[in-house]
Amino acid sequence: MTIRIKTILAAAAAVAALGAPAAMAQADLTAYSYVYYADAAKTQVLGEVYDRGCGGRGNNVYVLRANIPSPYYDATPIYICTAGGPMPLED
């Protein structure tokens, strides 16, 4: 019984260790403008939306994402969110 519990605990620790890098991966902090289309061939433009800005406090920064009303779109980077606010992209 003790061996079985140790084996289960060791397996759980291994799974947690493998998942740690994924959990620690930094989120995409790039804001985009989106042109969205009615079809997969991207022949009928429906409109354009932009990410709404940056949010967060201190080092907890995130992008306020736009709602894209279609699964077919092109995204163009416009700025990067930082703890100090939006920063323009370098050319």
Residue 91: band (very low, low, confident or very high) from pLDDT cuts 50, 70, 90 = low
For residue 11 the two structure tokens come to 């397996």
In tens, the pLDDT along 35-68 reads: 999 999 999 999 999 999 999 987 799 999 999 9
Bridge partner residues of 61 (DSSP): 56
Beta-sheet pairing, 60-64 with 53-57: antiparallel
Q: How confident is the model at residue 22 (pLDDT cuts 50, 70, 90)?
A: very low
Which DSSP symbol is given to 4? H
What's 41's DSSP letter? T
Cα radius of gyration (the chain): 21
More confident residue, 88 or 8: 88
**Closest residue by Cα to residue 67 from 84, 46, 81:** 46
